[in-house]
Amino acid sequence: MSREIHCPMGDGHLEADDDEQLLEKVRAHAAEAHPELTDEQIQQVMAGAHDSH
């Protein structure tokens, strides 16, 4: 089962095989779309990750 997260800014849906890969995708998305986010904020976003259906 994979993991997913919806960008809280409303501009993305990210999915990966596990939390480690998902974190990489979240960091890449944040760097491109939300460069103002700190690593702490990115970790808070990751708290919303869940199993995909």
Give me the residue spans of the domains in the chain.
Answer: 3-51
Q: Which tokens belong to 1?
A: 């089962």
> Cα 40–1–13 angle (5° rounding)?
50
Q: State yes or no: pLDDT of 53 exceeds 90.
A: no
Residues 8-48: tens digit of each pLDDT: 999 889 999 999 999 999 999 999 999 999 999 999 999 99
Task: Please report the pLDDT score of residue 32 as a whole number.
Answer: 96
| Residue 51 pLDDT class (50, 70, 90 cuts) | very high
The structure's pTM equals: 0.90
Task: Please report the pLDDT score of residue 28 as a whole number.
Answer: 97
CB 14 within 8 A of CB 26: yes
Cα separations in angstroms, 20 against 3, 4, 40: 10, 11, 16
